């Protein structure tokens, strides 16, 4: 007898393992030798078979039914699965479920959780993922809160009031910690916080509450452990609603000050205030705005990612306040540094054509044209008539020595100012590893740097339904299970203006265009380039970039959740030479 439970779903869909789109899910290439992960996406000499999210071929391809249910319940509770409709799913009354039979949206939601928490994206309920799900965390519901990502206060002087305090600690000490939490953000931005009387209207109300507390049944607190608190984003419209900006902390938690036991009030309150100011969760696990609470930090400081996120909304401090007092600790992200080798910003000397000895800046006013990765693990950036080879062990990627170089030096037949480029990533297909460049109404097909006969060709002939002069393109690679079973075919996304097109290289057709801002929550326009890097996908604008957290398929449509925009120098080491 099978047991039943509710699993969130975007639309009324039967088991996705039966439907055509049920085999779709975001995937990545496996790095078999972790020691070489910084220099190659795939070992070109012996390309591994793509396994679901880095699974090694000898791994057991199954999950316990209990693990599946626990993980699904967690993903539902915190909004990593779509929640417009509910679909009744059967959980077989057996100890294990084959992983290639899991519902597609469960895999997508699991990958979102892993990306959001800075974990290795495997699409599996592995030990690292299970441990992360056990940590206390913010109660922010990812789906519902994503609708307001990008909201910010239209002023820098904000009022607040402390409605009550917790009985576990002296009232004076609680108030001091909450004020310190405000100072955490005030020290690195132009924001100023002014307390008002209990009977006055404030921008930010701070409460300690238990259980259900008049902000919706799904926001009810759960007692000690797990959910520590939540906060509401700033008003998205000109009119403030009652809950906009408010901060709620679970009164049943064992709050503490300056000690390891319990939950540190300063850290938890500062995190929730980040949401009150408009910040989404960070994908960097060491950041304050990461979703989970990892324990008391005696030398608590903001991570550089937190600082850059708040300054992206409100700017830098208006006074000469030393922002370094809240900067990242030694474990934080490093700032982009100008490479010491000046050739990173200059074209390699070309004795035959001295005119090519020009200064080229990666992050200048002219946007990046495109990126492309190759089977040998290289990642190239294209801009105008030049390209850069990027090191990509960790972000930000930096240009290698002796770059940029002329595109014509490596791809002789290509024009300058490429519109877009993709590399095919399906080891069961003949096209695997082939690179396609697009410009205007034509496209070029290469095997690494060797053009294939008969190219260029017209886009309308090789990619029917895709418009000319696209702005960007990226692939969501195929995922292949043991025995070369195709779990999901490869798909290519083309972006032009405010729309995107989904192309199926197996069927040779494209979907009707969808509006980016209607179906991809949080996306910022315009998009000038895109990048598929290992198990991550990025959208790049002129000065910002965004990580794609989720792509999920329903009724021939694609829905996405896109992370908050970050400065481009967090993705690429920008040239700062004058």
How far is Cα 92 from Cα 106, in angstroms, rounded to an integer? Answer: 16
CB atoms under 10 Å from CB of 352, counted, come to 5
Please name the residue that has the structure tokens 């779990």: 487
Beta strand pairing call for 472-476 and 491-496? antiparallel
Structure-derived torsion over alpha carbons of residues 102, 106, 107, 111, reported in degrees to the nearest 10: -160
Of 184, 185, 276, which Cα lies nearest the Cα of 229? Answer: 276
* The pair of three-digit structure tokens given for residue 287, joined into one six-digit string: 């950041």
Of 307, 272, 240, 278, which Cα lies nearest the Cα of 151? Answer: 278
Largest CA distance in the chain: 79
Q: Please give the sequence-ordered ranges of beta strands (E in DSSP) within 497-573, or none if there are none.
A: 499-504, 509-510, 514-515, 520-521, 529-533, 536-540, 544-554, 557-562, 566-567
Burial state string for 483-502 with b = 16 or more CB within 10 A and e = fewer than 16: eeebbbbbbbbbbbeebbbb
How far is Cα 341 from Cα 444, in angstroms, rounded to an integer? Answer: 33
Q: If DSSP codes are grouped into helix, strand and coil, which group holds residue 441?
A: coil
Active-site pick, 30, 272, 286, 308: 272
CB atoms under 10 Å from CB of 171, counted, come to 12
Residue 272 annotated among the catalytic residues of the structure: yes
Which residues have a catalytic role annotated?
A: 272
């Amino acid at each position: 007898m099978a047991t039943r439970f509710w699993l969130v779903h975007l639309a009324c869909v039967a088991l996705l393992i039966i439907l055509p789109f049920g085999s779709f899910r975001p995937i990545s290439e496996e790095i078999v030798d972790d020691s070489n992960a910084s220099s190659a996406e795939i070992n070109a000499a012996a390309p591994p078979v793509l396994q679901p999210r880095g699974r090694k071929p000898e791994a057991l391809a199954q999950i316990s039914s209990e693990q599946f249910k626990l993980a699904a319940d967690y993903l539902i509770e915190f909004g990593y699965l779509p929640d417009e409709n509910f679909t009744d799913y059967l959980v077989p009354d057996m100890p294990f479920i084959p992983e290639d039979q899991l519902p597609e949206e469960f895999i997508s939601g699991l990958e979102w959780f892993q990306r959001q928490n800075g974990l290795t994206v495997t699409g599996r309920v592995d030990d690292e993922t299970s441990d992360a799900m056990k940590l206390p965390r913010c109660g922010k519901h990812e789906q519902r809160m994503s609708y307001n990502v990008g909201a910010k206060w239209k002023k820098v002087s904000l009022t607040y009031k402390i409605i009550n305090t917790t009985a576990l600690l002296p009232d004076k000490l609680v108030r001091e910690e909450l004020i310190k939490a405000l100072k955490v953000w005030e020290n690195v931005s132009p924001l100023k916080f002014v307390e008002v009387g209990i009977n006055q209207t404030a921008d930010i109300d701070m409460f300690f509450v238990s259980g259900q507390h008049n902000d919706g049944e799904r926001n009810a607190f759960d007692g000690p452990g797990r959910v520590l608190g939540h906060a509401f984003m700033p008003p998205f419209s000109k009119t403030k609603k009652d809950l906009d900006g408010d901060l709620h902390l679970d009164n049943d938690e064992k709050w503490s000050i300056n000690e390891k036991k319990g939950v540190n009030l300063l850290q938890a309150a500062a995190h929730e205030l980040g949401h009150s100011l408009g910040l989404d969760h960070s994908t960097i696990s060491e950041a304050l705005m990461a979703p989970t609470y990892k324990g008391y930090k005696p030398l608590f400081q903001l991570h550089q990612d937190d600082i850059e996120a708040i300054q992206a909304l409100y700017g830098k401090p208006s006074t000469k306040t030393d922002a370094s007092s809240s900067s990242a600790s030694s474990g934080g992200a490093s700032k982009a540094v100008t490479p010491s080798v000046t050739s990173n910003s200059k074209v390699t000397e070309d004795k035959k054509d001295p005119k090519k000895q020009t200064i080229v800046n990666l992050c200048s006013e002219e946007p990046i044209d495109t990126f492309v990765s190759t089977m040998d693990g290289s990642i190239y950036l294209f801009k105008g008539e030049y390209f850069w080879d990027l090191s990509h062990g960790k972000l930000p990627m930096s240009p290698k020595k002796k770059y940029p170089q002329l595109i014509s030096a490596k791809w002789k037949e290509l024009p300058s100012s490429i519109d877009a480029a993709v590399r095919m990533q399906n080891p069961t297909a003949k096209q695997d590893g082939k690179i396609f460049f697009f410009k205007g109404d034509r496209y070029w097909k290469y095997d690494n740097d060797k053009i294939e006969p008969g190219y260029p060709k017209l886009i309308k002939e090789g990619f029917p339904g895709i418009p000319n002069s696209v702005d960007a393109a990226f692939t969501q690679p195929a995922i292949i299970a043991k025995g070369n079973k195709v779990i999901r075919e490869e798909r290519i996304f083309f972006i032009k203006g405010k729309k995107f097109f989904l192309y199926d290289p197996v069927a040779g057709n494209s979907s009707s265009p969808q509006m980016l801002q209607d179906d991809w929550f949080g996306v910022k326009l315009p998009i000038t380039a895109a990048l598929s890097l290992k198990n991550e996908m990025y959208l790049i604008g002129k000065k910002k970039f965004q990580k794609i957290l989720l792509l999920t398929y329903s009724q021939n449509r694609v829905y996405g959740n896109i992370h908050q925009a970050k400065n481009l120098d967090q993705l690429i080491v920008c040239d700062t030479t004058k």
